[in-house]
Amino acid sequence: MKQCVKAKLVLEDGTSFKGISFGARGENSGEVVFNTAMSGYQEILTDPSYKGQIVTMTYPLIGNYGVNAEDVESNRVFLEGFVVREASRIASNWRSQKSLREYFQENNIMGIEGVDTRALTKHVREKGAMKAVISTEDLNDESLREKAINSAGLIGRDLVKEVTSEHVYDWNDTGKYTVVVIDCGVKLNILRELVKHNCLVKVVPAGTSAETIMDMAPHGVLVSNGPGDPEGVPYLMNTVKTLMKQVPIFGICLGHQILALATGNSTYKLKFGHHGVNHPVKDLRTGKVYITVQNHGFCVKTDLLNREEIEVTHINLNDNTVEGIKYKKFPVFSVQFHPEASSGPHEAVYLFKEFIDLIKGNL
């Protein structure tokens, strides 16, 4: 029988959680958040938007259907650590190619199980998301707390540069509408949805200039999801500010926040963020309510929005935060949630059609 390796998670306020390692040994720091999804752990692990974060799963049993090569959302795992109540020792699914434990060990991911995830989630809800350290090497609470306090947080930090693609590349070969995707940490299902809507998709690094993008003669531009604080990427704000005067734009998640900042609006950090697959969002234009996938720790400020220049199209029914914006002077709109929804409900996929309709109207 394999020897159990002790592990600890210690938050910057000194709260400590003991557990057992089921992945790589070592030590990592990040902001602790919780995700309420019951499944989709592989998509969560490979979502670049989780860079800089330690993710706690509220559902108690994770890993029971294993891991496969098809359900990844990027080329690697970006989060800093993974916290579960129980990591399943059995992977039972016809699509499974390996167990979650094997996946963690092969990809050098830090995972800790045996944690009271209900208590951890309750603590984060009450006190807010905070920095933490996960370790198998140092098990001293005071030492780990000090490391957590001194670790890099998310505010003002440019995490996009750590997840964006290094080069321009074509995702597919054919399509009626050329769409340039600014990769801030794009999920692959966004690219797949664009292809389904007859788009020729070109992906560019987040630092690509507006001039270079326009030289590609795009019919539209999509500003993707990504990690961290939108105010940490001012170069992208400037690019988007130039582009929105020239071409239709669709912003998703971080892209939504970047567009808001580029037009003089503000963002702020949520207490514990929105992370899960069950967030109700109302489309104010139709009155319909959609269950959405969300993963963000920052949000567009509601009270400072210039209503003469923008229209709020969607709101979150849990806390009334802004979930969608349409710009009156430009062919531009954005949403805070994930309409590509992988994994999760597919109710909001209609927004990709709205993007194509916007492109058609601008031809």
pLDDT tens sequence across 151-207: 999 999 999 999 999 999 999 999 999 999 999 999 999 999 999 999 999 999 999
34-51 burial by CB neighbour count: b if 16+ within 10 A, else e?
bbebbebbbbbbbbbbbb
CA–CA dist 83, 50 (Å, integer)? 13
pLDDT tens sequence across 199-214: 999 999 999 999 999 9
Residue 1 clears pLDDT 60, i.e. is over it: no
CA–CA dist 193, 171 (Å, integer)? 12
pLDDT tens sequence across 225-249: 999 999 999 999 999 999 999 999 9
pLDDT band at residue 2 under the 50/70/90 scheme: low
Q: Counting Cβ atoms within 10 Å, is residue 135 exposed (0-12), middle (13-18) or buried (19+)?
A: buried
Residue whose token pair is 């999509």? 222
Residue 45's pLDDT is 96
What number is the average pLDDT over the span 266-273?
A: 95
Share of the chain above pLDDT 90, in %: 94
Domains of the chain are 6-150 (3.50.30.20), 160-362 (3.40.50.880)
Give the pair of three-digit tokens for residue 257: 């926040």
Residue 341's pLDDT is 81
pLDDT band at residue 108 under the 50/70/90 scheme: very high
Residue 304 clears pLDDT 80, i.e. is over it: no
Residues acting as catalytic residues: 253, 338, 340
Residue 280's pLDDT is 97
Residue 303 clears pLDDT 80, i.e. is over it: no
Cα dihedral 152→154→158→163 (10° resolution):
90
CB 177 within 8 A of CB 359: yes
pTM of the model: 0.95
Residue 363's pLDDT is 86
